Amino acid sequence: MSQQNLNLNLPPGKPGKCFLTIINARTVRLSGDIKQFKPIYNESDDIIKLEGVEFDYSIGQVIRPKLKTPYKINVIQKLTAGGDPKNPAQGYDLSIARTNLSSIFAAPLLGGNRELFLWDKYFINAFVETQDDKNVIALLYRFSGDILFLKFEAALCAFRTFKYKIDTDSSHVLFVFEVPETSQSAYNHLMNSEYSKIDDFLKLKILDYHGFNMDGQTARVLFKSQILKAELEEKLDCTIPPENELHSALDMSQERFDPEYYYTPKSIVERKSNVKST
């Protein structure tokens, strides 16, 4: 997604200018004169508010870096040099959500790759359940009236595994798919958080989908790397039994689609459309 800058134009004599830049369908980046913002943390050390001289940003707030492009802030992440949290903030990412495990492990089970699924332009998150359905893979997108998105939407609805789509609000659309037969075993292992038990062919498919290499964290989890195991044992100061996986279990509060969490106010439609006939 091309980046759009919003100059907040702070009054003369006040702190310098700040900018909101659209990074992707999930995230807007706050940059510029960041020193004017004081982060407020909760008991879990998550940022829940940025208190500024003229502007505040807080969890649950809806911002509009472009007039017709609302973003609900559910996550505020500090950006620092080298990723060291002790360093001063260079900016803040204001996000609808973090990329969840369903996006990493389940989305690739539908086939294709990130480019085919317009990951960088419209994609928000994937889910292994909805409030109404289990044994599905659901993909949440930011809706657009652009010709590219409308053609993409029609292509998704033509998938053999397509079940239906829901306009969850005026800005988002959820596409729900049946789990492909060839991916059912991998899906079952994923639901049991048995990442290393996924078939090796589908492990490689997951890595290829994201463009991940064999030295990366995802590959180490899937193939139960001894290097990762040793790192975790040192970090956690414990011995990890050989049968244990090297990643935390699925948190269904993040992996099941929650319309309230992703909802951005204006108007809500919540209707099923293009239901695929059987």
Q: What is the pLDDT of residue 2?
A: 41
The residue assigned the tokens 């009236």 is 145
Averaged confidence pLDDT in the chain: 90
Q: What is the pLDDT of residue 266?
A: 61
Per-residue pLDDT of 190-221, as tens digits, reads 999 999 999 999 999 999 999 999 999 999 99
- Per the structure, the count of domains in the chain is 2
Show the domain range for 123. 99-278
Q: What is the pLDDT of residue 55?
A: 84
Per-residue pLDDT of 86-112, as tens digits, reads 888 999 999 999 999 999 999 999 999
More confident residue, 144 or 4: 144
Q: Mean pLDDT across the stretch 124-131? A: 97
Residues 202 and 113 in one domain: yes
Residues 119 and 89 in one domain: no
Residues 119 and 190 in one domain: yes
Q: How far is Cα 95 from Cα 116, in angstroms, rounded to an integer?
A: 23
Q: What is the pLDDT of residue 269?
A: 38
Q: What is the pLDDT of residue 15?
A: 67
Q: What is the pLDDT of residue 74?
A: 97
Residue 40 has pLDDT above 90, yes or no: yes
pTM for the model stands at 0.89
Residues 127 and 208 in one domain: yes
Residues 114 and 223 in one domain: yes
Transcribe 133-197 into DSSP letters. Answer: -SSEEEEEEE---SHHHHHHHHHHHTSTTEEEEEE-SSSEEEEEEEPPGGGHHHHHHHHTT-GGG
- Domain C-terminal end among 60, 75, 95: 95
Residue 126 has pLDDT above 80, yes or no: yes
Residue 248 has pLDDT above 70, yes or no: yes
Q: What is the pLDDT of residue 214?
A: 94
Q: What is the pLDDT of residue 246?
A: 96
- Domain C-terminal end among 78, 95, 112: 95
Q: What is the pLDDT of residue 14?
A: 61
Residues 107 and 90 in one domain: no
C-alpha torsion angle, residues 38, 62, 15, 21 (rounded to 10): 110
The HSE-up count of residue 78 (CA atoms within 13 Å, CB side) is 23
Q: What is the pLDDT of residue 10?
A: 42
Residues 17 and 123 in one domain: no
Question: Residue 68's pLDDT band (boundaries 50, 70, 90)?
Answer: confident
Q: Which of 28-42, 219-233, 261-275 has the lowest mean pLDDT?
A: 261-275
Tally of residues, the chain: 278
Residues 148 and 250 in one domain: yes
Residues 160 and 232 in one domain: yes
Residues 88 and 153 in one domain: no
Residues 81 and 38 in one domain: yes
- Domain C-terminal end among 95, 119, 142: 95
3-class SS at 35? helix
Residues 90 and 107 in one domain: no
Residue 265 has pLDDT above 90, yes or no: no
Residues 174 and 257: beta-carbon distance below 8 Å: yes
